[in-house]
Amino acid sequence: MGFLSKDVGIDLGTANTLVYMKGKGIIMREPSVVAVDTKTDEVRCVGGEAKAVIGRTPGSIVAVRPLKDGVIADFDITTNMLENFLKKACGNSMFSRPRVVICIPSGVTEVERRAVREATLKAGARQVSVIEEPMAAAIDAALGTYQDAGIDFDRDAIRAEVADFFVTRTKVMLRDGGCSHDTMDAVLATGVEEPAQIIARTYVLEAERLGAPEAFDDLATAYARANNLRDADLGVEVDEALLSDAERALLAATDEAAACVKEALAVDHFGAALAALAALRAPIDAFFEDVLIMDDDLALRENRLRLLNRFVAVFAHVADFGKMAKGAK
């Protein structure tokens, strides 16, 4: 880690947010409140300052709590709040982007967990680890017994190593249970870190893979091809006027799968999310067979790449199928 970087722990709560910095302890305890101008949607201030100005400002300035039951209810406002807290804690220098461990309530869905992680990254963190409160409490309780015994150690570094140990041991358990390494890697590539979720998802993914190996391999190969061709800088918005029949079919199937995946992950139904992805096999195969992606016409070429971006994005919260494609390393 760079000599100017910082390690920060954040306890993201509905009522209050605590910020801990390595070597300094708790440096910030702020209300999870943001003052927003309803006329412009502009964030005026956050935390204690936001709480203090309510009632002393024009009626268009309202207090917003962007979290509900520890879960992000408003992504943009939460990102703004985290950005302000991190700037207060670490400053504005590009060299002070911190590594962040952020604590969330247990029972949140993977979509909610990913929203917390993405909001923290967008707020300026260099690296983010999301850990559920029960695990964090268990680790802290164990470390506390050693500190009480007078043993001196870097609590933050040990906490991170313990959390990493849990993930490593989870991978060993899955391997011993017969799961292939690339299935595990495909699940872990989405950013899931809770051992129970890693285990459950890996077993479901492995079972689906073994149940229909040919269809699964075809989809994994098509995903890997799409992922290699895509151009993230182009975005995902396509011009439907430029689409052929095969492209329209893929667009419709992609959007339907995206809605199904979102709904399934919101209730932690990983099997249903995989079923939604499986429905994409036929339209993506037809697309690759009928469509010349790298067309000489720039507008057509870029539109087709945007469609592939959109297709690949549906898989992002489920599994990295490219890691399971034949020939993948």
- At 136, the pLDDT band (50, 70, 90 cuts) reads confident
Whole-number pLDDT of residue 3: 38
Distance in angstroms (rounded) separating the CA atoms of residues 14 and 35: 15
Query: Each residue of 194-233: pLDDT tens digit?
Result: 787 889 899 999 999 999 899 889 999 999 999 999 998 8
Q: Who wins on pLDDT, 182 or 159?
A: 182
The answer on pLDDT for 133 being more than 60 is: yes
Query: Each residue of 253-284: pLDDT tens digit?
Result: 999 999 999 999 888 899 999 999 999 999 99
Q: Are strands 61-64 and 34-37 parallel, antiparallel or unpaired?
A: antiparallel
The answer on pLDDT for 100 being more than 50 is: yes
Structure-token match 């249970």, residue found = 177
The answer on pLDDT for 149 being more than 60 is: yes
Query: Each residue of 59-99: pLDDT tens digit?
Result: 788 888 888 876 778 878 888 888 888 888 877 654 567 88
What stretches of 24-132 show up as alpha helix (H) in DSSP? 47-53, 75-90, 110-122
User: Residue 203 in 3-state DSSP?
Assistant: helix
Q: How large is the average pLDDT for residues 99-117? A: 75
Q: The pTM is what? A: 0.62
Q: Within 13 Å and on the Cβ side, how many CA atoms surround 54?
A: 15
Distance in angstroms (rounded) separating the CA atoms of residues 308 and 223: 9
Whole-number pLDDT of residue 4: 42
198, 192 in Cβ contact below 8 A? yes
Whole-number pLDDT of residue 106: 67
Q: Which domains does the chain have, with CATH numbers?
A: 7-135 (3.30.420.40), 212-324 (1.10.730)
Percent of the chain with pLDDT over 90: 37
203, 275 in Cβ contact below 8 A? no
Residue 12: enclosing H or E segment and its boundaries?
strand 7-12
Q: What are phi and psi of 108, to 5 degrees?
A: -70, 155
